[in-house]
Amino acid sequence: INFNKAQFKAAYGLPSQIPAAEAPEVVVCGRSNVGKSSLINKLLGRKALAKVSQKPGKTATINFYDVDGVYLVDLPGYGFAKVGQAERKRWADLIAGYFDQDRSFNLVVCLVDIRHEPQKLDREMVAFLKERELPFVIALTKADKISAQKARNTKLRVAEDLGVDTDDIYVTSSAKGTGIRELQARISEDTLEE
């Protein structure tokens, strides 16, 4: 994949709005503020294609980007403390509705902040992905905030904790560029046409 050939395609607020799958999809998800927009921008070599720190209260949407013929699907961040019950339900219905569709889910990149133990919502997402047998990797974000040694240890601990192979865990930093090439390589590999 040429990651520089990226453009925004569309945003959907309801699963029924999402058109039938036309391309392999790479899904990116994580708690709000985990660094999802920053990582997407870094992966695509862009400053502000995905919005960094979308204001709370703004309608959560699933955003599609066309990346050289592969669709990068940006799920709305979960776990906003201040979001009400109705918006939470809409979020859950949106995500479940998307994953219930007949699409080609080539890879789900699940983001977890490297500084914190995986939280309840992180665990629920991983459990969901396992249950559905969806191919996924974990990207630990903001690695520049801790030492390299500590990052290596955290990776091992998270692997053990979540029951994920270490080969499927990426230590990343959008600020420093750590792990970006490795994650791009994984995405390319997992979206190759047979």
- Residues contributing to the site for ligand GDP (CB under 6 A): 30, 32-38, 52-53, 77, 141-142, 144-145, 173-175
Task: Please give the Cα distance from 58 to 47 (Å, whole number).
Answer: 21
Q: Closest distance between ligand GDP and the C-beta of residue 122, in Å?
A: 13
Q: Which is nearer to ligand GDP, 36 or 103 (CB)?
A: 36
Question: How far, in Å, CA of 7 to CA of 5, rounded?
Answer: 7
Quickly list DSSP for 95-164.
HHHHHHS---EEEEEEEEETTS---HHHHHHHHHHHHTT--EEEEEE-GGGS-HHHHHHHHHHHHHHHT-
First to last CA, the chain: 14
In angstroms and rounded to an integer, the radius of gyration of the C-alpha atoms of the chain is 16
Do 33 and 8 meet the contact criterion of CB atoms below 8 Å apart? no
Shortest Cβ 94–ligand GDP spacing (Å) = 16
Please say which residue, 23 or 136, places its beta carbon nearer to ligand GDP: 136
Q: Which is nearer to ligand GDP, 106 or 141 (CB)?
A: 141
By beta-carbon proximity to ligand GDP, the closer residue of 18 and 34 is 34
Q: Give the nearest distance from C-beta 67 to ligand GDP in angstroms.
A: 17
Residue 121 Cβ vs ligand GDP, minimum distance, rounded to whole Å: 13
Task: Please say which residue, 88 or 145, places its beta carbon nearer to ligand GDP.
Answer: 145
Q: How far is the CB of 42 from ligand GDP (least distance, A)?
A: 8
